[in-house]
């Protein structure tokens, strides 16, 4: 059994510009097929538009309101919403309310800088 506490994780900035706490991934657990992280963006902040060739992603918005773009389609999302981002899809999330956003990101295969591509 492997248990990690989010409170003991060290934040880092991903290639797309979000601040991440890796909850479970290949850097801190015997993970093979997925990764789970918490991401935060400040009010009006956004990730850099990007895609992953290999990783399918789930975003689950824990706090705040945001605008989600996937392959040119835009939708408003808020806490409690889950978003599927297929592998190969261009995407970007932008904090749309007056405050920051906080979300869970799950990637399969696990997130890697090498699988993150920009325009």
Q: Could you list the residue range(s) of the whole structural domain that residue 37 is in?
A: 11-118
In a domain, 4, yes or no: no
Number of independent structural domains in the chain: 1
Instruction: Please report the pLDDT score of residue 12 as a whole number.
Output: 86
Evaluate if residue 62 carries a pLDDT over 80. yes
Give the separation between CA 55 and CA 105, rounded to whole angstroms. Answer: 11
CATH code of the domain in which 78 resides: 2.60.120.10
Give the C-alpha distances (Å, rounded to integers) separating 22 from 16, 37, 110.
Answer: 15, 4, 11
Structure confidence by residue, pLDDT tens digits, 8-57: 999 988 877 788 999 999 999 999 999 999 999 999 999 999 999 999 99
Q: Are 28 and 22 in contact (CB under 8 A)?
A: yes
């Amino acid at each position: 059994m492997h248990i990690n506490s989010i409170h003991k994780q060290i934040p880092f900035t991903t290639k797309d510009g979000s601040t991440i706490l890796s909850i479970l991934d290949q850097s801190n657990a015997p993970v093979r097929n997925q990764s789970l992280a918490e991401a935060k963006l400040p009010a009006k902040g956004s990730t850099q538009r990007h895609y992953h060739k290999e990783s399918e992603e789930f975003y689950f918005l824990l706090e705040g309101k945001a605008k989600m773009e996937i392959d040119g389609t835009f939708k408003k999302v808020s806490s409690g919403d889950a978003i599927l981002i297929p592998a190969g899809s261009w995407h970007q999330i932008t904090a749309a309310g007056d405050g920051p956003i906080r979300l869970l990101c799950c990637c399969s295969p696990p997130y890697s800088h090498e699988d993150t591509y920009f325009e």
